[in-house]
Amino acid sequence: MSDETVALGNAGRVVRAANEAGRAALVGYLPAGYPTLGGGIDAIKAMVDGGADVLEIGLPYSDPVMDGPTIQRAAEIALAGGLRIRDVLTTIEQVAAYSDVPVLIMTYWNPIERYGVDRFAADFAAAGGAGLITPDLIPDEGAEWIAAADKHDLDKVFLVSPSSSDARIAMTTANCRGFVYATAVMGVTGTRDQASDLAAPLVARTKATTKIPVGVGLGVSNADQAAEVATFADAVIVGSALVKAAGNGAADVRTLTESLSEGVRREPTAPAAR
């Protein structure tokens, strides 16, 4: 297996397959346990049925400082319903058994540290998980996670932002496996009326440092925005819009995912830059 194949990891190989088919991949986010444990599992399966290429499952946390109000509220509901890490792992198990779509967890670092880093990596891999997205863990403080991820063949998705220096981007991408998460806007998550004009330059700066895919998240809420971001990103990441849909049930999640899936498959009006 080549070094590049290893760096692509579980999710990256799926993203690259979509790119080779002439389109961006669709990464769909929903938190575990929302609106209920069973309802959350159904909603995540609906993203699979709607055409999501990669799944991003949120691990609800009591202090979600980087999340917007929609995701914060969903996390509050999940935690109020008694959700625990064991329930998140059960969600992973059921979704992984349902399809071959890679399942990543988006999580703040404190719950993983409290659970035990290697223990979590082992349990998560055993449940069928593909890797972690860690928004508040930077690679230079993540040696324990990097070692555990390498041991259990898990993706390590770190974040870059418009404020990241070129040196910081290079260091971050060197430690990623799967894909690089480019936060397209400054501030907390949430849907927006239009994609940030900071996104394309950030993707270009990131791609200058790595051969693994670059996904863009924060703000995409409809097919037109997905189509726009798909002209320059390898993967389009959608969160808050899908969480809003999940509040109405799995059928709404599938409908929105199908629309977003159509968006990333559109013929671009401008040449793709991947």
Which residues are tagged catalytic?
A: 56, 67
Q: Are 113 and 85 in contact (CB under 8 A)?
A: no
Closest CA to 23 of 265, 204, 269, 272: 265
| Structure tokens, 115 | 């659970």
Hunting for tokens 């940030």 — which residue is that?
196
How far is the C-alpha of 207 from the C-alpha of 245, rounded, in Å? 32
| Structure tokens, 262 | 């159509």
How far is the C-alpha of 240 from the C-alpha of 219, rounded, in Å? 8
Instruction: Give burial (CB, 10 Å; 0-12/13-18/19+) of 239.
Output: buried
How far is the C-alpha of 220 from the C-alpha of 209, rounded, in Å? 25
Q: Are 27 and 157 in contact (CB under 8 A)?
A: no
Q: How far does CA 194 lie from the centroid of its chain?
A: 20
Residue count (the chain): 274
How far is the C-alpha of 196 from the C-alpha of 3, rounded, in Å? 33
Instruction: Give burial (CB, 10 Å; 0-12/13-18/19+) of 69.
Output: exposed
